[in-house]
Structure 1
Amino acid sequence: MRRRRTLTGRGAGALLAGVACVVLANAVAAPILLYVGLLLFLLPALSFLVVRIPRRTGTVARQISTDLITVSELSRVTVRFNLRAIRIPHGLWRDVLPDAVAGESGGEYPPRSGQLSYVITGVRRGIWQIGPLMLRTVDPFGLAQREQEFGETRTVTVVPEVFTLAPLTVRVGAAGGTAHTSSSRLGQGSDNLSPRHYISGDSMRRIHWRATAHRGQLMVRQEEEESSPDALVVLDRSAARWDRPGHSADARFETAVSLCASAAIHLVQEGYSVDVIDSAGNVLGELRRHEDDRDGLLVALAMVTPRGDSRDLPTLIGGTPPGPLVYITGRIDEEDAALLRPSGAAAAMLFATEAQPGAMAAATAHGWSTAELGEDIADAWEDALPQRPGVGDAPV
């Protein structure tokens, strides 16, 4: 963060003019110029004391309208600034923002509305610091200025953008995942409305009184245990697939991370239990229809970067093949694609941001539905959707 000079441009000009007057006074023997030069020296010095001597302290508290800011999403930051000073100065305030967050975070102080606030937009995912708050004041002559920082910084998390995706064209049930519905016949009753006959050991609080009155014998609410079919989303972040991280973000990798988040959240909304891992087998998130699970995944994806190597896909999948399998990778050639085996997944979808000639054909031969991943994530998803049996050529 670059600090401002104490003297403004006008103040520096006054000093230079003072030096010129002193030199000229000696050259032409004009005492009046010497007095003018001294005055031009005195004014910046006096202005410096005016802005530097007053003691100011203060506290800063920030409130952000959303806990997590999505890339391209707007969020409002409200700043509570409690300034303690002999007199309230007039100047300009600004909150220091990282490059990953855009916004006009400043204005006049004190504000006319009595409140400091501004709108920010997420630009680049990650965990960043907002602040400190800077207050800049200038003396009445505009010769000297003071910029002072107040308060601590505040952490803001920018998460990948989540897109709305088209529903799967096939429903993957017990054949690919673990979809089943089983009824517990003994023990404590549950909150489910399906009634069954009372069995010794059932809680009397679970008696289904309406069914009991209708059938003339004790009935209890029967527990329905349902588990969703499993889905697996794999983000291949091995270093060989992506460009080396630099000062600016790799647009292809950012798109891949965004698809990873979008696919996982979309599959949960379709009723699947979703595990999200990277190509080394590290768990990035487990989604089980809880809002905390979703936020946890987005925070994990906010910090993910290309690194390390990848393991073979059958090892990642393990002994139980999932229903939908989404594999997201970057630079891939025909040989790499031939080594990717979906291992019995019922709906295998492969996305690559930079597929070499023959790579997608090799993957399709092994049972993948493929699509090249460009800027339009929703279109790529639709291109890779498995077709219903007997429709199209894409394997299911």
Structure 2
Amino acid sequence: MRRRRTLTARGTGALVAALGCMIAANLVGARILLYLGLLLALLTLFSVIAVRVPRRSGTVTRRISTDLLTVSEASRVTVRFTLRALRVPHGLWRDELPDAVTGDSGGEYPPETGQLSYLITGVRRGVWPLGPLMLRTVDPFGLAQREQSFGDTRSITVVPEIFTLAPLAVRVGAAGGTAHTSSSRLGQGSDNLSPRGYIPGDSMRRIHWRATAHRGQLMVRQEEEESSPDAVVVIDRSGRRWDTPGAHADPAFEAAVSLCASTAVHLSSEGYSVDVIDSAGTLLGTLRGHEDDRDGLLVALAMVAPRGDSRDLATLIGGTPPGPLVYITGRLDEEDAALLRPSGAAAPMLFSTELLDGAAEAAAQHGWTVAPLGPDVAEAWEDAVSARIGVGDVPG
């Protein structure tokens, strides 16, 4: 954070002029120049005292209109600033912003509305500090200034952008009915409850009183498993697939993360139970139709970065093949593509930001639908869907 000097440009000029007048007064013997030099020096000193001596303290609270800020999304920040001072100073305020967001976070103080407010737009995903609040005041002559910080910083989470994707139009049961899967989704409603006899150790809170009265013996609620299709989204963030992370974001990796988030949310909206993992097997999130699941996934994806190595895909999936399987990777050569096996998934789709010679053909031999991933995430997805179901059959 760059600190401003106490003297403004005008104040520095006044001090130099005062020194020049004093020197000239001695050289030419003009006493009036000496008085003028002293006046300028005293005026500059008075200005410094006027802005530096008053004691000020204050509290800052911030409210952001959205809990999670999406890349390219705008959000309003409302700042409540309570200043404790002998008199309310007039000056300029600004909230310090990280490079991950843009916005005009400053204005005149005190504001006419009684509170400070500004818009920010997400630029780069991650968790970043917002603040502190800076207040800059200048003396009436414009010779000295004071910049003081108030309050602590607040963290703001910028999550990857989510794009609207074309319907997949591939349901569980494709591939000859070999891709049927089920997931345990317990307690989703009254239809999946069936009573059973009481067993010592069962919680009394699970007693099904209506069934107990009907059968004449203690019965408890038994949740049944609902059959639901599973989908798996894998983002390959092994270090050798991507450029070395630097001060600036890698556009290819950002597109991969955005596709990962968009795909997971899209498949969840189509009724799939979605697991999102990285190439090392770390579970980044699960989507089971709850809003909290979605937010948790986006927060996890806000902080992912290229690192580590990847594990065998069959090991990551386990023994039960999913329906849709989406694998998102970076630089992919023919040898590594030949090792990627979809393990019986009903709709395996492979996205790569850099397909080297022979990689697409090697992956296609194992049943992958391969699509290059560029800056347009939605277009890459639509290309893959078109390749799966035939050009011209993409649902509207």
TM-score w.r.t. length of structure 1: 0.88
Once the two structures are superposed, the pairs formed by residues 181-220 of structure 1 within 5 Å of their partners are: 191-192=190-191, 203=208, 205=210
In the alignment, residue 7 of structure 1 is paired with which amino acid?
Answer: L
Cα distance in 2, alignment partners of residues 90 and 292 from structure 1: 44
Partner secondary structure for residue 33 of structure 1: helix
Is the 1:191–1:206 Cα contact (8 Å) retained in structure 2? no
- The equivalent of 1:54 in structure 2 is 54
Relative to structure 1, the CA distance from residue 308 to residue 79 in structure 2 (aligned partners, 3 Å threshold; closer, same or farther) is same
- The equivalent of 1:213 in structure 2 is none
C-alpha deviations, 1:61-120, integer Å up to 9, x for none? 000011100000011111111111111111111111101011111111110111111111
Match of 1:178 among 165, 178, 181: 181
In the alignment, residue 287 of structure 1 is paired with which amino acid?
Answer: L
Is the 2:181–2:321 Cα contact (8 Å) retained in structure 1? no
Cα distance in 1, alignment partners of residues 232 and 184 from structure 2: 21
- The equivalent of 1:133 in structure 2 is 133
1:222, CA displacement in angstroms?
A: 11
Is the 2:72–2:161 Cα contact (8 Å) retained in structure 1? yes
- The equivalent of 1:218 in structure 2 is none
Relative to structure 1, the CA distance from residue 140 to residue 228 in structure 2 (aligned partners, 3 Å threshold; closer, same or farther) is same
Cα distance in 2, alignment partners of residues 47 and 93 from structure 1: 20
- Provide the aligned C-alpha RMSD in A: 2.8
Report how many residues are paired: 374
Cα distance in 2, alignment partners of residues 240 and 261 from structure 1: 22
Cα distance in 2, alignment partners of residues 384 and 19 from structure 1: 75
- Ranges in structure 1 where 5+ consecutive residues have no aligned partner: 208-220
Is the 1:160–1:258 Cα contact (8 Å) retained in structure 2? yes
Cα distance in 2, alignment partners of residues 180 and 39 from structure 1: 84
2:315 pairs with 1:312: no
In the alignment, residue 282 of structure 2 is paired with which amino acid?
Answer: N
- The equivalent of 2:248 in structure 1 is 248
Cα distance in 2, alignment partners of residues 144 and 223 from structure 1: 73
Cα distance in 1, alignment partners of residues 307 and 52 from structure 2: 49
In the alignment, residue 192 of structure 1 is paired with which amino acid?
Answer: D
Relative to structure 1, the CA distance from residue 223 to residue 59 in structure 2 (aligned partners, 3 Å threshold; closer, same or farther) is closer
2:46 pairs with 1:43: no
Cα distance in 2, alignment partners of residues 62 and 244 from structure 1: 35
- The equivalent of 2:216 in structure 1 is none
Partner secondary structure for residue 226 of structure 2: strand
C-alpha deviations, 1:120-143, integer Å up to 9, x for none? 111100000101111111000000
Is the 1:134–1:147 Cα contact (8 Å) retained in structure 2? yes
1:180, CA displacement in angstroms?
A: 8.7
C-alpha deviations, 1:198-239, integer Å up to 9, x for none? 9998946479xxxxxxxxxxxxx9987423211111100000
Relative to structure 1, the CA distance from residue 199 to residue 342 in structure 2 (aligned partners, 3 Å threshold; closer, same or farther) is closer
Is the 1:192–1:222 Cα contact (8 Å) retained in structure 2? no
Cα distance in 1, alignment partners of residues 162 and 265 from structure 2: 8
Once the two structures are superposed, the pairs formed by residues 104-115 of structure 1 within 5 Å of their partners are: 104-115=104-115
Partner secondary structure for residue 351 of structure 1: strand
- The equivalent of 1:298 in structure 2 is 298
C-alpha deviations, 1:286-305, integer Å up to 9, x for none? 11111111111100000000
1:191, CA displacement in angstroms?
A: 2.4
C-alpha deviations, 1:252-299, integer Å up to 9, x for none? 000000000001111111111111111111111111111111111100
Cα distance in 1, alignment partners of residues 41 and 102 from structure 2: 41
TM-score w.r.t. length of structure 2: 0.88
- The equivalent of 1:371 in structure 2 is 371
- Ranges in structure 2 where 5+ consecutive residues have no aligned partner: 199-206, 213-220, 392-396
Deviates more, 1:141-150 or 1:312-321: 312-321
Cα distance in 2, alignment partners of residues 238 and 119 from structure 1: 36
C-alpha deviations, 1:158-203, integer Å up to 9, x for none? 0000111111122124632414999x9xxx9x72399x9x999894
In the alignment, residue 61 of structure 1 is paired with which amino acid?
Answer: T
Relative to structure 1, the CA distance from residue 21 to residue 321 in structure 2 (aligned partners, 3 Å threshold; closer, same or farther) is same
In the alignment, residue 311 of structure 1 is paired with which amino acid?
Answer: R
Cα distance in 2, alignment partners of residues 124 and 305 from structure 1: 12
- The equivalent of 1:215 in structure 2 is none
1:339, CA displacement in angstroms?
A: 1.1
Is the 1:324–1:348 Cα contact (8 Å) retained in structure 2? yes
Once the two structures are superposed, the pairs formed by residues 23-34 of structure 1 within 5 Å of their partners are: 23-34=23-34
2:362 pairs with 1:362: yes
- The equivalent of 1:15 in structure 2 is 15
Cα distance in 2, alignment partners of residues 139 and 40 from structure 1: 15
Partner secondary structure for residue 286 of structure 1: strand
Percentage identity across aligned positions?
A: 70
Cα distance in 2, alignment partners of residues 72 and 199 from structure 1: 53
Cα distance in 1, alignment partners of residues 308 and 111 from structure 2: 50
In the alignment, residue 43 of structure 2 is paired with which amino acid?
Answer: L
2:269 pairs with 1:269: yes
Deviates more, 1:33-42 or 1:167-176: 167-176
Deviates more, 1:322-331 or 1:310-319: 310-319
Cα distance in 2, alignment partners of residues 323 and 176 from structure 1: 6
